[in-house]
């Protein structure tokens, strides 16, 4: 017997429509509405006492939460389980087999527990909820949709591809920034050693020779003496500043202020905006493919946006879409995404091919973001040269000046 679903959608001309449709499952209802040329905004089953909104409000990031379970572990788990299910292996047998192969101890224990829960009669998605510190609510939601629609293997493969892509990008980022960071750290250590150890020894020699020190050398000597005598105070001050910034960033006000400030930095602004666009489009495409209505998908995806200022603007856009605005207009009013991306979304609204256009947006801007990141990393090199010039070069100059003055006096 068909279930009844209440829906809100838009047709190809952008007009908002609402009504009721019968289907065996939510996935089937979404498929029917798409076949009618409608873009599904929301879809709720007519069921007394059921509130999907309250559940969705609690959804968080796509990431499996703890750092103990890395992206590579997540990728291997999803890919192998997907392959087993595609081959017709029962999920309990597949999980038991995986539990023997998984190297990560945290994930191994969780997989064993999940297999036991399924043997007791629970669904896979319900069993995942027993490990909230490992699997995010978003991960569980996608699995639940895959189970209901009968395409769990495909859902897991989509998640595997996502984690693989994220892992490769993380490796690339670490590889690109490791050299500048190591160089910067080494330069700071050398600078401190010269100020605390080398410079005072030169100054003692000049004092014995009764050399009148130039003003720049006197200033640097006082700084050196202060660092030598009160290094512990400087260390405490530095730790206090870093901790204060950290805790301030943990507050809603602090995070919004700092994230909004980053959007005003010319070099970072475009990179942050386009990277957020890729996250938005990639994850929303995955949700669209899984049959989750647009507004609910946008609510979930918004929690994956790391910049709080952009997150708030996207939430405002979602509320405007709910009130009757079309997607393109709502996003355009917030002034966060490039015009080309908005034009592609507008085309998707008119043709009903949102999922495909979201993929196109990811492909189009992925290379742009990579180029911008490479440019930011490239800017670190001249910054290091300037730092070394003014830092170490200044110390060397302060030592040479008295020697030069001595040579003029003889």
- Expressed in percent and rounded to 5, the helix, strand and coil fractions of the chain are 75, 5, 20
Give the Cα-Cα-Cα angle 118, 137, 103 (nearest 5 degrees). Answer: 60
pLDDT at 59 over 70: no
Residue 29 · residue 7 · CB < 8 Å? yes
pLDDT at 51 over 60: no
- pLDDT tens sequence across 286-298: 777 777 788 878 8
- pLDDT tens sequence across 347-370: 888 877 788 888 888 888 887 887
Q: What is the pLDDT of residue 191?
A: 81
Residue 333 belongs to domain with CATH number: 1.20.81.30
Q: What is the pLDDT of residue 67?
A: 43
Q: Which of 265 and 62 is assigned the larger pLDDT?
A: 265
With bands split at pLDDT 50, 70 and 90, how would you rate the model's confidence at 181?
Answer: confident
pLDDT at 323 over 80: yes
Do residues 266 and 357 share a domain?
A: yes
Q: What is the pLDDT of residue 84?
A: 92
Cα-based distances in Å from 79 to 22, 112, 291, 376: 34, 17, 21, 34
336 in a structural domain? yes
With bands split at pLDDT 50, 70 and 90, how would you rate the model's confidence at 241?
Answer: very high
Do residues 100 and 149 share a domain?
A: yes
Q: What is the pLDDT of residue 47?
A: 56
pLDDT at 284 over 50: yes
Q: What is the pLDDT of residue 402?
A: 76
Examine the fold and report which residue of 14, 31, 61 is the final residue of a domain before the chain moves on.
61
Do residues 83 and 159 share a domain?
A: yes
Do residues 367 and 270 share a domain?
A: yes
Do residues 86 and 158 share a domain?
A: yes
Q: What is the pLDDT of residue 240?
A: 94
* 93: containing domain: 71-165
φ and ψ of 294, to 5 deg: -60, -50
How many Cα atoms are found within 13 Å in the side-chain-facing hemisphere of 68?
Answer: 12
229 in a structural domain? no
Cβ partners under 8 Å of residue 223, min gap 6: 195
Residue 4 · residue 45 · CB < 8 Å? yes
Report the predicted TM-score, pTM, of the whole model to 2 decimal places. 0.66
Do residues 26 and 109 share a domain?
A: no
pLDDT at 78 over 80: yes
408 in a structural domain? no
126 in a structural domain? yes
368 in a structural domain? yes
pLDDT at 213 over 80: no
402 in a structural domain? no
pLDDT at 48 over 70: no
Record the tokens describing residue 48, joined without a space: 């007394």
Examine the fold and report which residue of 123, 147, 165 is the final residue of a domain before the chain moves on.
165
Do residues 334 and 303 share a domain?
A: yes
Terminal-to-terminal C-alpha distance of the chain? 107
Q: What is the pLDDT of residue 243?
A: 92
pLDDT at 176 over 80: no
CA gap 380, 385 in Å, rounded: 9
Record the tokens describing residue 57, joined without a space: 């409000």
Do residues 38 and 125 share a domain?
A: no
39 in a structural domain? yes
Which of 57-66, 86-95, 179-188 has the lowest average pLDDT?
A: 57-66
pLDDT at 410 over 50: no
Q: What is the spatial order of strands in the sheet that 39-45 belongs to? A: 16-23, 3-10, 39-45
Number of domains in the chain: 3
pLDDT at 151 over 90: no
Q: What is the pLDDT of residue 1?
A: 60
With bands split at pLDDT 50, 70 and 90, how would you rate the model's confidence at 261?
Answer: very high
Do residues 35 and 86 share a domain?
A: no
172 in a structural domain? no
pLDDT at 270 over 90: no
Do residues 276 and 320 share a domain?
A: yes
Q: In terms of C-beta density within 10 A (0-12 exposed, 13-18 middle, 19 or more buried), how is residue 410 classed?
A: exposed
Q: What is the pLDDT of residue 66?
A: 39
Do residues 328 and 271 share a domain?
A: yes
Q: What is the pLDDT of residue 239?
A: 92
Do residues 20 and 82 share a domain?
A: no
CA gap 140, 225 in Å, rounded: 59
Examine the fold and report which residue of 123, 146, 165 is the final residue of a domain before the chain moves on.
165
């Amino acid at each position: 017997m068909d279930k009844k679903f209440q829906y809100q959608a838009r047709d190809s001309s952008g007009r908002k429509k609402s009504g009721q449709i019968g289907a065996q499952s939510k996935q089937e209802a979404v498929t029917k509405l798409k076949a009618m040329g409608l873009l599904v905004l929301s879809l709720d089953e007519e069921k007394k006492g059921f509130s999907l909104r309250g559940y969705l409000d609690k959804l968080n990031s796509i990431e499996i939460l703890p750092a103990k379970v890395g992206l590579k572990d997540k990728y291997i788990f999803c890919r192998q389980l997907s392959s087993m299910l595609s081959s017709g292996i029962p999920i309990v047998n597949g999980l038991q087999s995986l539990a023997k192969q998984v190297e990560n101890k945290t994930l191994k224990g969780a997989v064993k527990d999940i297999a036991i829960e399924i043997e007791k009669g629970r669904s896979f998605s319900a069993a995942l909820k027993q490990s909230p510190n490992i699997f995010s609510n978003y991960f569980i939601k996608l699995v639940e949709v895959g189970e209901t629609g009968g395409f769990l293997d495909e859902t897991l493969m989509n998640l595997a591809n996502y984690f693989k892509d994220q892992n490769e990008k993380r490796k690339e980022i670490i590889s690109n920034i490791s050299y500048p960071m190591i160089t910067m750290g080494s330069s700071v250590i050398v600078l401190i050693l010269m100020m605390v150890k080398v410079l005072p020894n030169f100054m003692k020699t000049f004092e014995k020779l009764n050399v009148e020190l130039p003003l720049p050398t006197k200033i640097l000597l006082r700084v050196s003496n202060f660092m030598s005598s009160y290094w512990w105070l400087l260390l405490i001050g530095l730790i206090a500043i870093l901790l204060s910034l950290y805790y301030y960033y943990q507050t809603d006000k602090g995070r919004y202020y700092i994230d909004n400030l980053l959007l005003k930095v010319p070099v970072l602004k475009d990179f942050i905006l386009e990277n957020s666009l890729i996250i938005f489009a990639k994850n929303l495409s995955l949700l669209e493919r899984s049959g989750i209505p647009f507004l609910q998908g946008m609510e979930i995806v918004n929690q994956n946006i790391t910049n709080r200022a952009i997150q708030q603007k996207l939430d405002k856009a979602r509320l405007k879409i709910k009130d009757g605005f079309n997607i393109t207009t709502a996003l355009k009013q917030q002034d966060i995404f490039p015009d080309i991306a908005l034009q592609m979304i507008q085309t998707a609204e008119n043709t009903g091919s949102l999922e495909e256009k979201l993929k196109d947006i990811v492909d189009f801007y992925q290379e742009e973001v990579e180029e911008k990141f490479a440019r930011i990393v490239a800017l670190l090199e001249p910054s290091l040269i300037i730092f070394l010039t003014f830092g170490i070069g200044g110390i060397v100059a302060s030592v040479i000046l008295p020697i030069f003055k001595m040579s003029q006096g003889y």
